[in-house]
Structure 1
Amino acid sequence: MPMTALTSCSLLGLFLVAASGTSRTARAADGDNKMQSTRADFKEFCQAMQGRWIGEVVWITDWPGFGKKGDKVTAYSDFRISHNGHVLLGRFNGGPGAGTGMVHYDAGKRQIQARWVSSGGSVWNQVIYKQDGLWHELETGSVADGKPIRSSLVRHISDDGKTHRRSGTVKIDGKMVDPVRDVWRRIGD
Structure 2
Amino acid sequence: MKLASAIFVASLYAIQALGQHATRQDFDDFSKATKGRWSGEITWIADWPGQGKKGDKVTVYKNISINEDGNSIFNKGFGGNGCTSSITVYNANTKQILQLGADSGGRMWSSIWSRQGDKWIATSIGSLADGKKIEATLTVTPTDHGNTLTTTGYLTIGGKKSDDLHDVLHRVSK
- The DSSP-based 3-state class of the residue aligned with 1:70 is coil
Q: How does 1:26-45 map to 2 (within 5 A)?
A: 32=19, 35-45=20-30
- The DSSP-based 3-state class of the residue aligned with 1:160 is coil
Q: How does 1:1-189 map to 2 (within 5 A)?
A: 32=19, 35-189=20-174
Name the TM-score, length of structure 1 as normaliser.
0.82
| 5+ long unaligned stretches in structure 2 | 1-16
Bigger proportion of residues as strand: 2
Q: In the alignment, is the contact (CA less than 8 A) between 2:118 and 2:142 conserved in 1?
A: no
Residues 3-51 of structure 1, C-alpha deviation per residue, up to 9 Å, x if partnerless?
xxxxxxxxxxxxxxxxxxxxxxxxxx8x61xx20000000000000100
| 5+ long unaligned stretches in structure 1 | 1-28
Identical positions, percent: 39
| CA root-mean-square deviation | 1.3
Distance 2:95 2:113 in 1: 11
Considering Cα pairs closer than 8 Å and 6+ residues apart, tell me whether 1 or 2 has the greater RCO.
2
1:179 Cα deviation after fit: 1.0
Alignment length, in residue pairs?
159
Bigger proportion of residues as helix: 1
The letter of the residue matching 1:85 is: G
- The DSSP-based 3-state class of the residue aligned with 1:47 is helix
